[in-house]
Structure 1
Amino acid sequence: MTELARLVALLLIGLLVGLLNGQLAWSLAAVAVLALGFHLFQLYRLHRWIVRDEDRINPPDGSGVWGDLIDALYRFGKRHRKRKQRLTRLLERFNEFTGAMPDANVVIGPQGEIRWLNDAAQTLLGLNQPADLGQRIGNLIRHPDFLHFLRHGKYAETLEFPSPLREDVRLSVRVVPFGNHERLIAARDVSHFFRIERMRRDFVANVSHELRTPLTVLSGYLETWSDMRDEVPPPLRPSLEHMSGQAARMQQIVEDLLTLSRLDSESTVAGDQVDVPIPAVVATLREDAEALSGAQRHVITADIDAELWLRGEIKELHSALGNLVSNAVRYTPAGGRITLIWKAEADGGARFEVRDSGIGIAAADIARLTERFYRVDKDRSRASGGTGLGLAIAKHALQRHGARLEITSRPGAGSTFACVFPSGRVVRKTTRARAG
């Protein structure tokens, strides 16, 4: 209203002066020029105040609408400066926090471009800030396992691989998707745990090797006495048989420990791989299961896709599948049913299942079944002759082939053990194999 009243007053003055001197048009033009000059001057002062940072806290004087505008801008700028100061403090605290973290953290965009990284990412992953910002992380970290892990897109598990800077530094990497197709890469130095695990594997392997020789000697003597059973006093014969059985069991444990140590040494299958005739392997396993069943007379059937083969290491695959079949025979009551299934999956992979009508497994025990020497029923397991290492061997052998072990069971309702192989391992053959 003040500005409008001022404009009306100027127009009236111009009109009065114009009427008095007979120059109405010139008087009104002079009034317009005067008003425009005033506003241009106020606009100039406002612009100079806005663009000069040193004067930001000292606003110019103004009247009317210009005074209101300058006052509103001043208050807005004051609030903005306070917010900026708070954000600056928060950012400083955030940088202090991330800088103190021992884990490397990297934020990448949808195309893998690096958007942010902390100090630990420079020491563990070899990245540089700000030089590497905007670069694709796959161009800077070239480890094949890491590249495959990023492309795979399934981040439920972690990946371990050596640091790009030092081979003796082992990193555990987890990827967390968030935001608009962004991902957080968190890498932790697990070299200490890796060294402890390697020491454990070496210890088990060395002890197993050391035990093998004396056990072989003992078994040789026991076998000799068993061959001379008629010369052994009758009261000692049961003890001799018991010692022979326990020596054989101990030898099997040593062999299983050595197998586990070998499987632990590498994450993937090494050496030459061949097309493995899984249909023939499953048929052989069925025959072995019938022999192991013996007087228990289990009903053992097989449903086999005769054209479905796998690319891999035949001994490891035979061991993995065989352990599942022998477990089913041991833990299924006499006369129970055991079904072996070898079939293709909808995604192009393959699946081997062992279904039994056995005693079943409680949910709390399923997660621990693949642990070394873990037994659900210790007395029954020892009586059945198992070493407690079969499922651990099966799990490791499958992992080395990119496969996984799935277990479903309920107490009293039997169990299903399934080996799921990826499509990259599947080979189709036209040769027909017999299925029982």
Structure 2
Amino acid sequence: MWLIIALFFIALMGGWLSTHWLLFLCLGLSFYLAWHLYNAYRLLQWFSHPKKITLPEAVGIWGEIFDHCYHWQQRNRKRKRKLSTMLKRVRRFTAAMPDASVILSAEQEIEWFNKASRKLLGFRSPQDLGQPIVNLIRYPNFRHYLNHYQQQDSVKLVSPINPNMMLRINIVPYAGHRYLLSARDVTQLHRLEQVRRDFVANVSHELRTPLTVIAGFLEAMTDSDDESLKNWQRPLFLMNQQVLRMRSIVEDLLLLSRLESENYQIVTEPVLLAELLEEIYHDAEALDQENKHVFILKLDPELALEGNAEELRSAFSNLVFNAVRYTPEGGEITLHCYQDERGAHVAVSDTGEGIAAEHIPRLTERFYRVDVGRSRNQGGTGLGLAIVKHVLNRHGAQLHIESVVGKGSLFRCDFPLHAICKSI
């Protein structure tokens, strides 16, 4: 303001001395405007080349502007140094990680990867930067996971550069439309899991023959007319029951081993759900002659799935027979199959005792029982829901469980839309 007043006073004095008021006022205004344009030009030059040109100095309001720009520049430099330090730490951290980390763009192109990606995935820098990820990891199951990662937690596949290395890959969206892909070496865990599966399968297979022999002798002794065996009828009956239970466990373990085997290929065909569930319903009725449950069937007669009939029969039978075992006498059991905009659904509900919420996440574990004594008395093996889970996984479906203690339970199998057969 003082500069403006001084310039105005000088213009007045010049106009008073020369009697050309308007001329001197125009000259003063022109000088003031030129001074502003000059400082604006200096500021523009500095903004264009902040590293080459030193921040100019001036008096008045432009001095204030340059001063604020200087402090802003210092704060920005401190922020950049801080961000640079943090970025270096993040890079050192990700470089030291044993897991491969890859940043993908919205178009699923590689933007950055760490050192572990070279070892696990065979990526090279800078050749692979900007490449679509599917050009470097060429597996159909990976491509499917990339398009359906919201419905699938992870995918396990062989390393692209080492056939003896097994990787588990996860994809997490972040920062809008970018993705973080992480790959972990699970070779040792995969081998241990394979050893466990082979051990269970071999032991179950070896137990089959002696159990069959024992069952045959027990049956012969039970049906014998020998007077000396009459006092042994009760022990023989109990032994026969336990042998049958052991054979049931062995058969379930062998089925689980087949379902878990990577070499066990699924053979699909159109399966009419209403027909399959009606057959299971008749089997359940034969099993349920004592408790006299009320069965309610709500079946879509035209709904069909592309799947393996025997595997689906095993899964649905386990759900229905569980409902029969754990529903009190006179209770209701509902079999319902239907489709909606999300896919096809097969639901088995009952009015049994229900299951507490803390047990539900573990129900599909092998041999897990809510009530061990009661489950054994009912003839359960503890493997039924594990079989259901594996069958559904092989069909791209999921098991949904709802239960309220004292009111009953609902077990629903949710199949994707693409599993529905258009016609049969």
Class of the TM-score when normalised by the shorter of the 2 chains? 0.7 to 0.9
In the superposition, relative to structure 1, how do residues 262 and 80 fare at CA in structure 2: closer, same or farther (>3 Å)? same
Match of 1:415 in 2: 409
Match of 2:265 in 1: 270
- Mapped pair 1:100 → 2:111: no
Match of 1:333 in 2: 328
Shift of 1:253: 0.7
Shift of 1:138: 2.4
Mapped to 2, the partners of 1:352 and 1:7 lie a distance apart of 90
Match of 1:364 in 2: 358
Of 301, 305, 309, the residue aligned with 1:306 is 301
Alignment of 1:13-92 (within 5 A): 76-92=72-88
Shift of 1:404: 1.4
- Mapped pair 1:288 → 2:283: yes
> 1:294-352 deviations in whole A, cap 9, x for unaligned?
222222232222222221111111111111111111111222222222x3321262222
SS at structure 2 position matched to 1:354: strand
Which stretch of the first structure deviates more once superposed, 73-82 or 118-127? 73-82
Match of 2:421 in 1: 427
SS at structure 1 position matched to 2:297: strand
Q: TM-score, normalised by structure 1?
A: 0.82
SS at structure 2 position matched to 1:367: helix
In the superposition, relative to structure 1, how do residues 417 and 81 fare at CA in structure 2: closer, same or farther (>3 Å)? closer
- Mapped pair 1:234 → 2:264: no
Match of 2:121 in 1: 125
In the superposition, relative to structure 1, how do residues 85 and 322 fare at CA in structure 2: closer, same or farther (>3 Å)? same
Of 187, 190, 194, the residue aligned with 2:186 is 190
Which stretch of the first structure deviates more once superposed, 361-370 or 293-302? 293-302
Letter in 1 for 2:230: P
Q: Which has the higher contact order (CA 8 A, sep 6+)?
A: 1
Question: Do the aligned partners of 2:221 and 2:229 also contact (CA within 8 Å) in 1?
Answer: no
Letter in 1 for 2:355: I
- Mapped pair 1:211 → 2:211: no
What is the number of equivalent residue pairs in this alignment?
424
Match of 2:23 in 1: none
Structure 1, gaps ≥5 residues long: 19-33, 431-436
Match of 2:147 in 1: 151
- Mapped pair 1:201 → 2:197: yes
Shift of 1:221: 1.6
Shift of 1:128: 2.7
Letter in 2 for 1:367: P
> 1:238-287 deviations in whole A, cap 9, x for unaligned?
111111111111111111111111111139x7253222233222111111
Shift of 1:413: 0.9
Match of 1:374 in 2: 368
Mapped to 2, the partners of 1:52 and 1:407 lie a distance apart of 65
Of 162, 170, 176, the residue aligned with 1:174 is 170
% identity of equivalent residues: 47
Shift of 1:290: 0.9
Match of 1:321 in 2: 316
In the superposition, relative to structure 1, how do residues 228 and 164 fare at CA in structure 2: closer, same or farther (>3 Å)? same
Mapped to 1, the partners of 2:329 and 2:198 lie a distance apart of 41
Question: Do the aligned partners of 2:145 and 2:154 also contact (CA within 8 Å) in 1?
Answer: no
Mapped to 1, the partners of 2:329 and 2:63 lie a distance apart of 99
SS at structure 1 position matched to 2:153: coil
Shift of 1:51: 9.0
In the superposition, relative to structure 1, how do residues 136 and 429 fare at CA in structure 2: closer, same or farther (>3 Å)? closer
Match of 1:30 in 2: none
In the superposition, relative to structure 1, how do residues 61 and 126 fare at CA in structure 2: closer, same or farther (>3 Å)? same
Match of 2:21 in 1: none
Q: TM-score, normalised by structure 2?
A: 0.84
Question: Do the aligned partners of 1:286 and 1:301 also contact (CA within 8 Å) in 2?
Answer: no
Letter in 1 for 2:142: F
C-alpha RMSD of matched pairs (Å)? 3.8
SS at structure 1 position matched to 2:296: strand
Question: Do the aligned partners of 2:149 and 2:171 also contact (CA within 8 Å) in 1?
Answer: no
Larger C-alpha radius of gyration, 1 or 2? 1
Question: Do the aligned partners of 1:155 and 1:175 also contact (CA within 8 Å) in 2?
Answer: no
Which stretch of the first structure deviates more once superposed, 224-233 or 275-284? 224-233
Mapped to 2, the partners of 1:127 and 1:4 lie a distance apart of 66
Letter in 1 for 2:307: G
Shift of 1:292: 0.4
Letter in 2 for 1:197: E
Match of 1:433 in 2: none
In the superposition, relative to structure 1, how do residues 158 and 46 fare at CA in structure 2: closer, same or farther (>3 Å)? closer
SS at structure 2 position matched to 1:87: helix
Which stretch of the first structure deviates more once superposed, 124-133 or 2-11? 2-11
SS at structure 2 position matched to 1:164: coil
SS at structure 2 position matched to 1:221: helix
> 1:117-145 deviations in whole A, cap 9, x for unaligned?
22222222222333333322223222222
> 1:74-104 deviations in whole A, cap 9, x for unaligned?
5554444433332222221121111111222
Structure 2, gaps ≥5 residues long: 19-30
Letter in 2 for 1:177: P
Question: Do the aligned partners of 1:225 and 1:232 also contact (CA within 8 Å) in 2?
Answer: no
Question: Do the aligned partners of 1:348 and 1:426 also contact (CA within 8 Å) in 2?
Answer: no
> 1:369-426 deviations in whole A, cap 9, x for unaligned?
1111111121221111111111111111111111111221112212222222222222
Letter in 2 for 1:407: I
Shift of 1:68: 7.6
